[in-house]
Structures are given as structure tokens and as C-alpha cells.
Amino acid sequence: MRAVPLAILVFTFALTTVCQAATVRVAVASNFSGPMKKIAREFEAISSHKVVLTFGSSGKFYAQIRSGAPFDVFYSADEQKPTRLVSEHLAEAKSQFCYAVGVLALWSANRPQVVLNERTLSQASFSKLAIANPRLAPYGAAAVEVIKTLGLWDALQKSLVQGENITQTFQFVQSGNADLGFVALSQLQLQPETSANTYWIVPDSLHTPIRQDAILLNRGQDNAAAMALLEFTKSAKARTIIENFGYRIPDSD
């Protein structure tokens, strides 16, 4: 019976020498910073690896990665940029997967908060509607789709103001400079004071899904920590974290 603990000891020793503690450098789209911090903490707790997170806009990361930025893994805010990195031979095609689906919400920070629903947009009782820049931000593109699907594009043209990204769009609404805005449900989830009936979760049927892809970059190919982190992101534990932050989990593939 003594052999069992000994075997475990030898096995553990062998394991730690094989996959030595490594550091993984991760570029993360700002909108995913909350869940990513938590995922990284959990990951570090169960493995011997170390995670270094950098948050920023996906477009900037794309440019930096092309210029040789030292990232092993990239959590993009969309699927296009990882795909493009693959076609430029800067990332591993096989490793690309959707880690989260963004949920769009229409929100007003007015106090007392108004109850929002699908009729709010056609009632024209507001002067400024904030959306993220549709050219840059998937949430912005989705917002434009929603407005067009509802047949309100021409009517709302004059009311639109664009934040450069979803964070700024959120600030426009939160400060009250814009009466309404299409923001990410994940942002509202972080607000302690927003109760569920002050925003309207836009149904998926009104826009194409906001799929966010992660990918292993060339630099991370031989990094055990990089691959382990990507695997961990697919685990049930990580999925629960992601959902708790206001994202949906892609249908299992």
C-alpha cells in the first residue's frame, strides 16, 4: 500500500517537470475584462501557470500582434480579427473558438428609471440614442441591425451618437448625456444599482449573434500555459463565470 502515495509522488514530480509552470501573456478585449480576471484567477489556482492580462481594443491588439507584440493568446471582441490573423499566418487556425456571445441591452440611466421595452425606440420620447461605433464594435453593428430590423433607421438617424467602443457608449448613457443607449448586458451586470426592469434585453432574433473568438497566437504555440488556459476557458467552471457576467455561452460544438 505504501506504493500508492509513492507512485503519486513520482507521477506528480514527472508531471511538473513535463509541463513546467509557464507564463501566458493574454490580450483581452476590454469588454471581457471582468470575466477574464476571474477566469485567470481560477486557472492560476488549479494550475501552476501564471497569467498576465492586457486589456484593450481588439483593433489595437490586431495591429500590435501584426507588429510582433508578445502575446500568446488573443481574446477578441469579434470573430473577424482572429480569422484575419489566421489568414496572415499569425495564429493557429485549429485553436480558434467562440468563448462568449455578447448580449445586447437597451438601457437608460434616467432616475427614476423608466421601464424599457421594444416600443421605447418608436415612441421618440428621447433626444439622444447612444450606440457603439458600428464600424468598430460588434455591439454597435448589432445595434444598427436592431434599429433597421425595427424599421426605425431613418427616424432615429438624427438621434444617434456613437461611442468609440461599448465602454464609452456606456459612459454616454450613465452620465445622462444620452437618454438611451445600446450597451452590453455584461456592463449592466456590473452595476449594483440597475434592477432588471430598467433595461430591455434585445431578442437574438433582431440581430446576428455577437460572437467573440479566442485564438492561440504563433508565439504561444509551444507554451503549455497558453493551451491550458484556452482549454480551461471551455470548462464548465469558466462557462459559469462567463454566464454570470452577462454573456451567453455558444452552443456546444
Partner 1 sequence: MELFSTEDLQAILLTLKLATVVTCVLIIIGTPLAWWLVNTQSRWKSFVSALVALPLVLPPSVIGFYLLLAMAPDGPIGHFTTQLGLGTLAFTFPGLVLASVVYSLPFVVQPIHNAIDALGKRPLEVAATLRAGPWDTFFNVVLPLAAPGFITAAVLGFAHTVGEFGVVLMIGGNIPGVTRVVSVQIYDHVEALDYGRAHILSLTMIIFSLLVLAALYSIGKPSAHKLSRS
**C-alpha cell recorded at residue 2:** 505504501
Query: Taking the complex as a whole, how short is the minimal distance between the CB of residue 164 and partner 1, in angstroms?
Result: 6
How far, in Å, CA of 182 to CA of 111, rounded? 18
Nearer to partner 1, 88 or 243 (CB): 88
Q: Which stretch binds partner 1 (CB under 8 A): 57-65, 118-126, 191-199, 243-251?
A: 57-65
Per CB under 8 A, contacts with partner 1 among 88-127 are 127
With binding defined as CB under 8 A, does residue 177 bind partner 1? Answer: yes
Query: Taking the complex as a whole, how short is the minimal distance between the CB of residue 194 and partner 1, in angstroms?
Result: 17
Q: Tell whether 76 is in a known binding site.
A: no
Of all helices (H) and strands (E), which one includes residue 237? helix 236-244
Strands 210-216, 73-75: pairing is antiparallel
The pair phi, psi for residue 182, each rounded to 5°, is -90, 110
Per-residue string for binding with partner 1, 195-214, x by CB under 8 A?
--------------------
CB burial readout 78-95, b (16+ within 10 A) else e: bbebbbebbeeebbbeeb
The answer to whether 53 and 36 are in contact (CB under 8 A) is yes
Nearest to 170 by CA among 104, 124, 242: 104
* Binder among 48, 171, 194, 218 for partner 1 (CB under 8 A): 171
Query: Taking the complex as a whole, how short is the minimal distance between the CB of residue 43 and partner 1, in angstroms?
Result: 29
Nearest to 185 by CA among 175, 198, 176: 198
With binding defined as CB under 8 A, does residue 172 bind partner 1? Answer: yes
With binding defined as CB under 8 A, does residue 181 bind partner 1? Answer: no
How far, in Å, CA of 220 to CA of 83, rounded? 17
Per CB under 8 A, contacts with partner 1 among 22-51 are none
Number of helices and strands (H, E) in the chain?
A: 10, 10
Q: Which stretch binds partner 1 (CB under 8 A): 97-105, 164-172, 189-197, 201-209?
A: 164-172
* Binder among 33, 162, 198, 233 for partner 1 (CB under 8 A): 162
Query: Taking the complex as a whole, how short is the minimal distance between the CB of residue 173 and partner 1, in angstroms?
Result: 10
Q: Is the peptide bond before 5 cis (omega within 30 degrees of 0)?
A: no
Per CB under 8 A, contacts with partner 1 among 62-91 are 62-63, 81, 84
Judged by the rule CB under 8 A, the positions of this chain that interact with partner 1 are 57, 59-60, 62-63, 81, 84, 127-128, 130, 133, 135-136, 160-164, 168, 171-172, 175-178
- Binding residues for molybdate, by number, are 58, 166
